[in-house]
Structures are given as C-alpha cells and as structure tokens.
Structure 1
Amino acid sequence: MCRCDPQPRVGPGVARPHARLPGPDPRIHQRRTRPLRRSRLVQDAVIRNLQTLAESSQRLSNHIKGTEPQIPWRELAGFRNVIVHGYLGVDLGAVWLVVEQDLPTLAAAVDRMATHLGSQG
C-alpha cells in the first residue's frame, strides 16, 4: 500500500515524504469503499498513511510549498487534525474521496518537489 523505503532522501538530509504516500490498492479501488468500510485494518492503514503524509507536509518550507501553489496546504494540515483527533468521528467516505480525488494530484506535486530538491543538491 505504500512505497516502503522508510527514509528516502533527496540531497543531504532532505526526506522525501512521497515515499510513504498511501495509494489505493487496485483491488480496493475497483470495489470503491466497500473494503475500507469492512476492514478495520485497511481503515487504520489508509488513515495512518494519510496522517503521515499530512504531518510531513507541515514540515516543508514555505519556499518549497510555494513551488506548488495549487495544493491547499492549509487544508491538508486541517485534514490531518481531523483524522488524528477524530473530530466528530472520521467519515470514511470523505477519507476515500481524498484518496481517489486529491491524492493523485498531491503525489504528482510531491514528485515534482522532490525532483526540484534533487536538482539543487
């Protein structure tokens, strides 16, 4: 479910947060949210990976975030707070929408940022 290099680096000391990007398993994607709703293990894995991604995004400099202005960085931080603290419960439908609709754009942006950082090192 994730690309599993625990601390991939781009240049000296620059972690690549996209290495842990959760991606929808093709089997899950085909059946939409049914497996997410049926399996507590899948729920925990997806939510934990999204939490890690959101927390990692908060550690990015404003300069690097500025290279991807189309990403709603503040909303991503807010999403992290919702899933970590479980405000009013976590809406699994909303989580799955993030995985399907927002994650591909974010993953592409993180790849571009990593390339940019790699070219500077």
Structure 2
Amino acid sequence: ATLRNLQLIGAAAMHVPIEVRQAQPEIPWHIFTGTCYHLVRSYLTINKSCVWDIIQEGVPDVLPVLRKLSDSESGKEN
C-alpha cells in the first residue's frame, strides 16, 4: 500500500504544471516523479532504504509546503 501511495504521489506530481513546479523549488519534484517512474518500471528491484528515506524525510518535509500551495490554489478558485 505504501509503494502504491508513492506511485500516486509521483503521478500527481507529473501533472503539476511546470510553472507551479518552478515557483516551488523547495519541493523535490524530481524525487517524487522519479520514484514513481522507478516503482512502476522496476518493481522487483526497489531500494527499500531509499523508499524508507522518502517516507521518513521527503514526504514530511514537503507536506507543509504542499498544504500552503493547496490552500493558495483553493483561494484562487473561490
């Protein structure tokens, strides 16, 4: 389930417009999109240590930034 969630995060990151990604350089977009690509293409050779690092450090570090970005985008729509 965790690997599938990382795939979904990466797939979602691929659909974020380049302008938004460039405006948020503190988010390691390449890590999320690269991880998704790797998980989809080479399921049997997954580096569990790398996945653990992303779960423990990468995701928690970017959550506040993503929430702020989501809130600002929601405000634009309302």
TM-score by length of 1: 0.57
Aligned to 1:89: 45
Asked if the contact 2:9–2:32 (Cα under 8 Å) also holds between the matched residues in 1, the reply is: no
Aligned to 2:6: 50
Q: Determine if the alignment matches structure 1 residue 110 to structure 2 residue 62.
A: no
Cα gap change, 1:96/1:46 in structure 2, threshold over 3 Å: closer, same or farther?
Answer: same
* Unaligned runs of at least 5 residues, structure 2: none
Aligned to 2:20: 64
* Unaligned runs of at least 5 residues, structure 1: 1-44
Asked if the contact 1:64–1:113 (Cα under 8 Å) also holds between the matched residues in 2, the reply is: no
Structure with higher Rg: it is 1
2:35 to 76, 79, 98: 79
Give the % identical residues.
Answer: 21
Asked if the contact 2:6–2:36 (Cα under 8 Å) also holds between the matched residues in 1, the reply is: yes
- CA–CA distance in structure 2, aligned partners of residues 49 and 103 of structure 1: 11
Query: After TM superposition, what 4+ stretches of structure 1 lie above 6 angstroms from structure 2?
Result: none
Alignment deviations for residues 13-70 of structure 1 (CA, whole Å, 9 cap, x no partner): xxxxxxxxxxxxxxxxxxxxxxxxxxxxxxxx00000000010011011222233211
Alignment deviations for residues 69-100 of structure 1 (CA, whole Å, 9 cap, x no partner): 11121232111111111266011121111000
Aligned residue pairs: how many? 77
RMSD: 1.6
